Structures are given as structure tokens and as C-alpha cells.
Amino acid sequence: MGVLAAYFKSRAGVRDIPMAPMVKNTLASWKQEAPESALDLVFPNSVGKVQSYSNFYNRVFKPMLVENGIVDAEGEPKFAVHSLRHAAASLFIEQGWNPKKIQTLLGHATIGMTMDTYGHLFDSAEEDLTMFAKLESDLLAA
């Protein structure tokens, strides 16, 4: 697992973000070719400063979605950049990651914030039945 220090807008400030080795290696390779940045940014703008959301969205993200046909009936992109964060959190949950780990990765100040946003994705009636059946079995075996 690779780790990359990253800047965020929250109180967490700079923190280490674990990532798959392929992602870390790709970002490290890109960083060598990226414009110089006094802030040591991976994706600085052309003068080495923080990218503005609107520039990134309009020049990179939106054209990518349009080019790949990820648009609504009016031809507008179906997703905003923030949708990637929700998709990642949903995948973490689907993979069975611990809610506290997800809280840390997302930079949420409290587990309540994570559960308020994503708690419904942890619910599984089928899993609940299996868990109660196991609980009953374990209790009766004791």
C-alpha cells in the first residue's frame, strides 16, 4: 500500500492518504512532469498554485464526461467532481471496510458525520438475519 501526504481544506490539514501502489506510482510519476509548485502540489495550475474547482471542472472533468458519453438527455455531465468522493466511500463500504477507517480516509471530524452520510449503505437485512442466527447459535452453544 502506498501513502501520499495530501493537503485538504479541513482541520485535518495535511494527512497521509493510503492508496493502491499503482495509484501512488502513477501520481509520483506525474508529479515529476507537473509544473513546479512551492506548495509541493501534485496537480498545480500553470503557475504552481492550487487549481480552482471551476477551472478543473470546465477544462478537465466536464470534457472527460462528455467525451465518454456520461451525460444526461440534455448533454450535460451526470456527475460533479464530488461524486467521486461518494463513489469511493460507497465502494469502501461495499468492500466491508470498517466505518472508523472510512471516517479517517474521508477526513470526517466525527463518526456521526460518516454514518449520517453513508450509514444507510451499511444496512443489510440479509446480513442482519445471518448475524442474529450466528448470535443465537453461539449463545445456545455456550
Residues 119-136 have pLDDT tens digits of 888 877 677 788 888 889
Average of per-residue pLDDT across 57-71: 95
Domain residues of the chain, as ranges? 1-42
What is the per-residue pLDDT across 81-115, written as a single tens digit (0 to 9) for each?
999 999 999 999 989 899 999 998 888 999 999 99
What are the DSSP calls for 43-93, one per residue?
SB-TTSSBPPHHHHIIIIIHHHHHHTT-B-TTS-BS--THHHHHHHHHHHH
Cut 0.85: pTM above it: no
